[in-house]
Structure 1
Amino acid sequence: MTKDELLNKIQSTIDEQQAKLTKLKNKAKEESQETLDDIREAIDDLEPKLEQAKAKALEIAETADDNYPDTGGS
């Protein structure tokens, strides 16, 4: 797997998680208090993971191509 392929895969995952987070936030507007608590817990769990993924993608993007090992995967 090349650096660009990995970055594309990571970005795809980030986009999926961002969509889930947005969906949860929108759902929170119309649910009961118990459900809201569950949604907030899920949001609190997802937000740091999303930030970590973004930071990792930035780290990979900033790595010089000649310093980035080709993982050889597909």
Structure 2
Amino acid sequence: MTTAHRHPPTRTVPSVDAATKRAIDALESAGYESIDAAVPHQTRSTWIVPATTADGRVRVHVDPRSGATRVVETSE
């Protein structure tokens, strides 16, 4: 009989500060300017970082395990 050992998931983005930095880096890489990031909040599977840029409001979704980002423009 074998026993599977579960390892806790790796946290590439473990904190509010790390999520904010990752989001700002993603926005800068995408060409956004005058970035003002708000306090991120974490859902079950992602960090969501609201931000205001020279082009308007956006949200950056940051995967806490991989660090992958996705910029979502908002209409608000």
Tell me if both proteins adopt one fold, taking TM over 0.5 as the criterion: no
More helix by share: 1
Query: Highest CA radius of gyration, 1 or 2?
Result: 1
Bigger RCO of structures 1 and 2 (CA < 8 A, at least 6 apart):
1
Instruction: Provide TM-score, normalisation by structure 1.
Output: 0.25
More strand by share: 2
Instruction: Provide TM-score, normalisation by structure 2.
Output: 0.25
